A and B are shown apart, each in its own frame.
Chain A
Amino acid sequence: MNIILAFCCGLLAATGTYMLLRRSFVKLVIGLALLSHAANLLIYIVASPLLGRPPLVRAGETQPPAPFADPLPGALILTAIVISFGVVAFTIVLIKRTYEEIGTDDLDQMTSTDRDLC
């Protein structure tokens, strides 16, 4: 199971990087989204998930029966998902506005801030 997930994570990261390197902005955003998925999946994998062992404490006990899955990575991933959702939403609006303003979706056309204006 973990090995499959590890391959998925690698695939997501590789595809994300490839997309980031394209010249179109839409692909840039897709790349960023994929990379954030890769990061989230990575947290899940390295914390070695245990299937079917939820960390639930039975009545009258103080600890869940070992071995139990660590709930913290889930919380971390949830936070990270919410954050990356917000960020990707912002980026989509940004590229829409930029497209309206500049009239191209080619990153290589966006050189006015790097060029000396005089």
Chain B
Amino acid sequence: MLIALPVLIPMLGAALCLLFWGRSRPQAVLALASTASMLAASVWILFGVRDGTILTLNFGGWQAPFGITFVADLFGAIMVTLGAIVGLAVMAFSVGASDRLRASSGHYPLSLTLLAAVSGAFLTGDLFNLYVWFELMLLSSFVLLTLGGERGQLEGAIKYVTLNLLSSMLFLMAIGLIYGTVGTLNMADLARRIDDLQDPKLATLLATLLLVSFGIKAGAFPFFFWLPASYHTPPPAVSALFSGLLTKVGVYAIIRVLSLIFDQEWSLLGDVVLVVAGLTMVTGVLGAIVQNDMRRILSFHIVSQIGYMLMGLGIAIGLVGSLGASSPIAVLAMSGAVFYIFHHIIVKANLFLISGAVLITTGSTNLKEVNGLAKSHPFLSMLFLISSMSLAGIPILSGFWAKFVLVRGGLEAGSYTIVLVSLAVSLLTLYSMTKIWTQVFWGEPDDLKSPPLDRRTKAWVYSPIAGMCVLTICIGIGAESSARLALDAAEQLLDSSRYIDAVFDGASAQIGDAP
């Protein structure tokens, strides 16, 4: 029951929020309470799986593979915890920053359903159930994106909706083909039975279809166009929530499906993933360089960072194809990807929150319109400096260690090209962060167009940002234990037999045996 809590709590919170439609205060209290208890539940799960056990839950007592199974392994638990952290920070930020109209109508319940769907996607062990969580996540994000109905939001939403729906159709087609050919949709069962396919080319086809569909959701090259077109249009709290979680669900799905189900295709797909990773990094960072708006720059950086996560995965599965799943280098590279994801979710959501704070204090995020924040708002500037340096990978902050593990994995695996590309891209990342810094934070302060924030708003806006900054510093200082966590998660990911055993543990069910 425990592992369904991160889904149930925000769902319940959303339902309760609907009872207070039109009143922002009770909705805000409910949202904060449910994200806080969601965080508590997910930390509890994380402690439960820390020693390597994998928790499973079969809904309605139907044994796998007949019912819907929820599985919490280390990677899934880490992701759910991060989702809850971002959720809590975003809710606190929304209390200070949301306008009255949005805050009293759909903002809180929709953000909560989005969080529920994201946790569902991280925990489910069934491919069709994953599709349903994806759709729930998409629908909540569609409405969050368009809530308010400004011109930019609507235009961004059309692009976002079209491409994401296309990706869902591809996913659904892949599900249909998988069911038709393998005869099951439970991921652990699929992992056992995919090898029985008559034609190995069919498995490659299915893996590719899933890879394209999740690639669109993750914003990987060449499918990332919807992301920079839409992420800067909604209110800052919403873009922070999106930037922290949505694309990462795509990356999670790629990692889960490739590591669990399609482990026969690895030698072939490793190269594909690596090429995609390199191109994603480069196009993302080049796109960011030419932009002149803080939120757009950050949106392009999401794309570029997705490349790093795929790089870890690509190196790992390429190696496993030739060396076997227990190869320590493969585990190292995969742990780089895991580490990068958890560093990225915190830092990127925080940078979006900071850009939101800049937006509400100055009325703009355009680099040419905002100047001299370092003098007028030194605390905010310091928070930005910490997060942006972490993103670029300056030592002792979380980004440095994440890149360090990835680069080390790459060097040991002999994938020198991708390592070179990733280092060049992090230089360019540093360049565009300094560009924001010199234009927005340095210089003489302008006369602010908007009135200064009152104390209460300031407290709500700054405290989640400061909290996330402390987290990124803590991950950096406690890199040893974070890296160990990532290593354990990676080891578990690469050894798919543990996941399969956990799902079928004690459930050697015969057909017709289910209650």
Contacts and interface: CB of A to CB of B under 8 A. Distances in A.
B512 A113 contact: no
A80 B368 contact: no
Contacts of B135: 83, 87
A113 B165 contact: no
B162 interface: yes
A98 B154 contact: yes
A105 to B, nearest CB: 11
B175 A43 contact: yes
A74 to B, nearest CB: 12
Interface stretch (B44-52, B138-146, B379-387, B418-426): B138-146
A80 B146 contact: no
A113 B159 contact: yes
Nearest to A79: B132
A106 to B, nearest CB: 12
Nearest to B131: A80
Interface centre among B142, B159, B180, B232 (most CB of A within 10 A): B180
Contacts of A39: 169, 172-173, 176
Contacts of A79: 128, 132
Contacts of B176: 39, 42-43, 46-47, 73, 76
Interface in A78-104: 79-80, 83, 86-87, 90-91, 94-95, 97-98, 101-102
Interface string A29-59: 0001001101110110111100000000000
A118 interface: yes
Interface centre among A63, A102, A114 (most CB of B within 10 A): A114
A25 B159 CA distance: 11
A87 B139 contact: yes
B291 A116 contact: yes
Given A39-B169, A90-B139, A113 B179 contact: no
Interface of B is mostly: helix
A112 B512 contact: no
A110 B229 CA distance: 11
Interface in B335-380: 366, 368-369
Contacts of A35: 165-166, 169
A1 interface: no
B84 interface: no
B158 A95 contact: yes
Nearest to A86: B139
A108 to B, nearest CB: 12
A32 B162 contact: yes
A92 to B, nearest CB: 11
A83 to B, nearest CB: 5
Nearest to A80: B172
Contacts of B152: 112-113
A42 B139 contact: no
A117 interface: yes
B166 A112 contact: no
B155 A98 contact: yes
A45 B158 CA distance: 31
Nearest to A16: B169
B156 interface: yes
Nearest to B156: A113
A1 B128 CA distance: 27
Contacts of B179: 43, 46-47, 72-73, 76
Contacts of B177: 42, 46
A79 to B, nearest CB: 7
A5 interface: no
A113 B128 contact: no
Contact of A117 (B143, B155, B293): B293
Nearest to B512: A62
A11 interface: no
B161 A113 contact: no
Given A110-B155, A113-B156, A117-B366, 8 more contacts: A42-B173, A42-B177, A80-B172, A87-B135, A101-B149, A101-B150, A102-B151, A114-B228
| For the complex of A and B, 6 pairs with smallest distance between CB atoms | A46-B180, A43-B176, A39-B172, A98-B154, A110-B155, A42-B176
Interface of B: 128, 131-132, 135, 138-139, 142-143, 146, 149-152, 154-159, 161-162, 165-166, 168-169, 172-173, 175-177, 179-181, 228-230, 232-233, 290-293, 296, 366, 368-369, 512
20 contacts: A32-B169, A35-B169, A42-B173, A42-B176, A43-B172, A47-B176, A72-B179, A86-B139, A90-B143, A97-B149, A97-B154, A101-B150, A101-B154, A110-B155, A112-B151, A112-B152, A113-B155, A113-B159, A113-B229, A113-B232
